[in-house]
Amino acid sequence: AACSCTSVNQSRPKMLLLLFVGSSAFARVRSVCTASDTQCLSNLVRQHRHHLEVARAQGSLQLHQSLAKLGLSAHAATEAASLLEALPRFDDVSGAPLNTAAKLLLQKQETNTSSALLGDAAPVQIAHGTWKYVLLECEDAAGVTGLFVRNAPNLQFHAEMAEQAIRTELHRMRKIKVLGGGRIAFEGQPRSIKIWGYSKTYGRCASCNERAAELVRGSAAYGQYEVSWSNAGY
């Protein structure tokens, strides 16, 4: 949505003030949005989404630095970051990336070149509840490959699941490839784990859900649960 703006001589309080102070369009913008002015912050985020998404892909520090360049206070920057986080990054129908930052996220997953050993990370880490999951193939420093099942709560997209896994305990693997994904329902009562569906972003490799189920059954942390899988549904 286009940002509504006001000049210095106007006094409408809930509008965006533009001051030309730099060479690029992004650097020239200075905002008078306050932390409580959600509409003003939302307009600002949408207007500069491309730059902010690229900064977010580089880390939270870079994102907050970019928001500070827009003239936001620390509190307002935190609110703006939350609004940015709520915007969809991948198409819910096709799974395709919707912006440059989402494309960078996929490229980052494909080009990780750090090194570690497979034994440094647990084969399976899943969260209670029903969430999307990804099946990853990793190659360690010795050239040995292995599969990993990962998901996390409160993440909307399969690519975000993969990003979190790669950014945390899998970040030192030499090579990482996302084979596919689906959904996992992990219930405490009854003690069951159900795996089904597919990923619109990564697709579903051959026997993806079956292989994920085998990994879960063989895991010391989840082997005591009744594990079932299906390729039905999304």
Q: What is the DSSP code string of 176-191?
A: EEEEEEEEEEEETTTT
Which amino acid is located at 99 in the chain? N
Does 200 belong to an annotated binding site?
no
Assess contact for 43 and 3: CB atoms under 8 A: yes
Tell me the C-alpha distance between 23 and 7, whole Å: 19
The C-alpha angle 96, 77, 106, rounded to 5 degrees, equals 20
Tell me the C-alpha distance between 183 and 203, whole Å: 12
Tell me the C-alpha distance between 64 and 77, whole Å: 6
Tell me the C-alpha distance between 148 and 176, whole Å: 10
Which amino acid is located at 141 in the chain? A
Which amino acid is located at 138 in the chain? C
* Catalytic-labelled residue, pool 50, 64, 158, 171: 158
199 DSSP 8-state letter? B
50 is annotated as an active-site residue: no
Q: Catalytic residue positions? A: 158
Binding-site annotation, residues: 132
